[in-house]
Amino acid sequence: MPRPPRGLFCALLAGMLLAACAPLQTVPETAAVARQANAQFELEGRLSATDGERAASGQIQWQHTPTTDNWTASTPLGQILAQLHSTPAGAELVLADGQRHQAPSANTLLPQLLGTEIPLEPLADWVQASPGTGAEVRATDVHGRPVLVIDQGWRIDYAEYHDTSASALPRRLEISRGETRLRLVIDRWTLSP
């Protein structure tokens, strides 16, 4: 079998070396789509939470308006464990056994309901994948929706959206900081104008 000419071999070798040294082409990152948080919504879903020592899980229903928040936490079988009602005048947590706890704001009582401390103010934006001012969108999906957001030291990971549209609301997300983790699966959204 005849050997290829030496010049052809050198040209092929030089081409391979140049290709190996060429910078890799990167796929451009999809720009984040501007998302507007709804001022009023209701969600129903399931949550699990831990702070590294304690853990809680169950069903959650949350009605949010610009001035009120109403939460209901239930067992996986639907038995109500606690209800939290919050207005500008204060907050009240009612437990299944009838005990009532009051506080100036829901932030004080929310850990008893969710099983871990999560700040209420940005939570309405986080669950809608609408990062507020100061939040940093670190990664987006192919539709421009947030996949990873860092806000006030909290990490918000969006694992799944309800559909493929750019405006789709999250279905599965995890909020974490240190040992604190809250996983939320949102089965149903109701948005109000």
Residue 15 has pLDDT above 90, yes or no: no
How high is the pLDDT of residue 142?
94
Spatial distance between the Cα atoms of 25 and 138, rounded to a whole number of angstroms: 21
Phi, psi (5° rounding) for residue 131?
Answer: -60, 135
How high is the pLDDT of residue 115?
81
- Tens of pLDDT along 77-132? 889 999 999 999 999 999 999 999 999 999 999 888 888 888 888 999 999 999 88
Residue 46 has pLDDT above 90, yes or no: yes
Contact 2, 9 (CB under 8 A): no
Distance of alpha carbon 150 from the chain centroid: 10
Q: Which residue has the tokens 């999250």?
A: 170
Which one is predicted more confidently, 8 or 38? 38
- Residue ranges and CATH numbers for the domains of the chain are 40-192 (2.50.20.10)
